[in-house]
Structure 1
Amino acid sequence: MWPDRRIQDLFGIALPIVQAPMAGAHKAELAIAAARAGALGSLPCAMLSPQQAREQVAQFRAAVGAPVNLNFFCHRSAAPDRAREAAWRARLRPYYLEFGLDPDAASAAAARAPFDDTWCALVEELRPQVVSFHFGLPEPALLARVRATGARAIGSATTVAEAVWLERNGCDAVIAQGNEAGGHRGVFLDDEFSNGEDVSRQAGLFALLPRVADAVKVPVIAAGGVFDGRGIAAAFALGAAAVQVGTAYLFCAEATIAPLHRRALAAGEGDDTALTNVFSGRPARGIVNRAMREVGPLSPLAPAFPGAGAALAPLRGQAEAAGDDGFMSLWSGQARRAHALGAFELTRELARQALDLIDRAGERDLERD
């Protein structure tokens, strides 16, 4: 019934839907529910230890006999820039004083682990069916080890050049990530994009998707602004073989986001978001709050990823304890609408809506013939 089954056949799933891996926003429960409904359940590993990831996979596999996707970041660690870090601390100093914090206190390092030999050994141990990468791909030797396990490798592209690069370097499918997508942009070939210096040139999904689909032979997964069946049907019409859905799952009870984040999500429908680098050092889309308005949304002072987040963490803790979301990273895409569905029901409803639209379009074509 689906016009393109390449992703379903490649991953061994019933529906052409990938539940987006959202680091810090969910654990195994959400992936399990999405997988039970027929989607590809994903587990984000960038903020986990190897043992935590091992436990998440064990929980997933004990609950459902379905493929699992493990997601990793592939950023390169930047050399320390003491001058930039000092300027960043100086910019945040008034907020520290406002919240009664010591502006000269040391901050814990931001927890964003890039894919390395340790993580690769875990993939070899756990043998997930799919391994996805953000911010490019690991070095060729590590990727070869991943593929030797039998796992399908996929990566995120924000430009046609990135999609072609991912295919050429061994990806079995490519995620075309439009500018509408919530959370971190997967950009990796353009330093200006990575640093957030010129995000205005980045394409929206429905401008990017058909160009990527024309440029690569591997199946393409559409991500960004896909919130209902209309978005899925449109993505298929433009060359996608599947969609990756993120923000819609944040409304599900299985998501582990903070209550203040849930409240902010429910208060709008996506026109309240912007790309910012103040929370991590890389551009990511979130709901505009105090930190974004006053410090960014894009600040040249923010240390390279993931360093910007370390100095903001104490401010977030103090503000959140007082019921203030002003220093939280409120990740969200540009399309959202509050709902009360669980992840299983949401996945099935998205598929039902999309198939209904696709079937009706097919019937109209038959009538014209």
Structure 2
Amino acid sequence: MNTTIAVVAHGRDDVRVEQLTVPAPTEREAVVAVTYGGICGSDLHYWRHGAVGESILRAPMILGHEVVGTVVRAAADGTGPAEGATVAVHPATREHTEVRFPENSPNLSPGVRYLGSAARFPHTEGAFAGEIVLPSTMLRELPAGLDLRVAALAEPASVAWHAVSQAGELRGRRVLVIGCGPIGALTVAVAKLFGAAEIVAVDLHDRPLEIATAVGATRTLKATETAEIAAVDADVVIESAGNHRGLASAIAGATRGGTVVMVGLLPTGDQPVPIALAITRELRLLGSFRFNAEIDEVIPAIADESLAIAPVVTHVFPVTETLEAFAVAADASVSGKVLLAF
């Protein structure tokens, strides 16, 4: 049987690069040779803590869900891209559940499995491997000639696209983005594409603000400049810092009757935020979780460069240097999106 190199989380502070057996595909599955994998905050949480919130590692699990590559064996049933096609991956699969959720929002179904997630047991293996076997329905063929380094951003850009779409019409409006890590920077780029007149980007560090400016921010502020943030008076705020201080700044920086989209995943449990201000300003507070079919809009926008996001990728490491890559990705002062090259 074939073996492949893979990035496997065994527990807290225990991520290993190992050789694993490539499973035999079913007739509805394709084999993809992975070119790049983007390191997500969830991958870093499994590395540092052995968990993402309440999703706790109970067995070794392959990490990763932001991948692009080439089909080396098409699905035997004839579905999906042909052999030789370059593809991005939609990392979600949906299983039946009796729990209610909006039918047009499958991302809210508790029956969804996501690549590289310990939310359920057995865990859903991820895609940080030289070769992966996936249902052909998860594959999205990429336009010929598209730089796979940029295409590797298709999944997080879809998260950003979903978040910005939650706010409704942006044309001519003032947008405030709190937290300019990869998702925050990508929301800046999507907001620009959607016609925002002003985009104010906020972060603690200079490097993320430089990236945000490169993809469309018209002004930047440091997260410590709380008075200036409160004075932005934004029609729409995207909170992507994922902590209570960021959410407090988002509420403070929103105009009366404005909208705050919360895409940064805060820790579980109670959070100390100025909710009274949200009430008296009649703010709309909207959650945003993963994405649905947005990836099918994101890929052509990346290809024609109307969604200009290349500056978000700042580092590429060979998979053999995974631990160094994870350390760089965890340092927001020096990196944007960090890719593993397989």
TM-score, normalised on structure 1?
Answer: 0.28
Greater length-normalized contact order (CA 8 Å, ≥ 6 residues apart): 1
Structure 1 or 2: more helix by fraction = 1
TM-score, normalised on structure 2?
Answer: 0.29
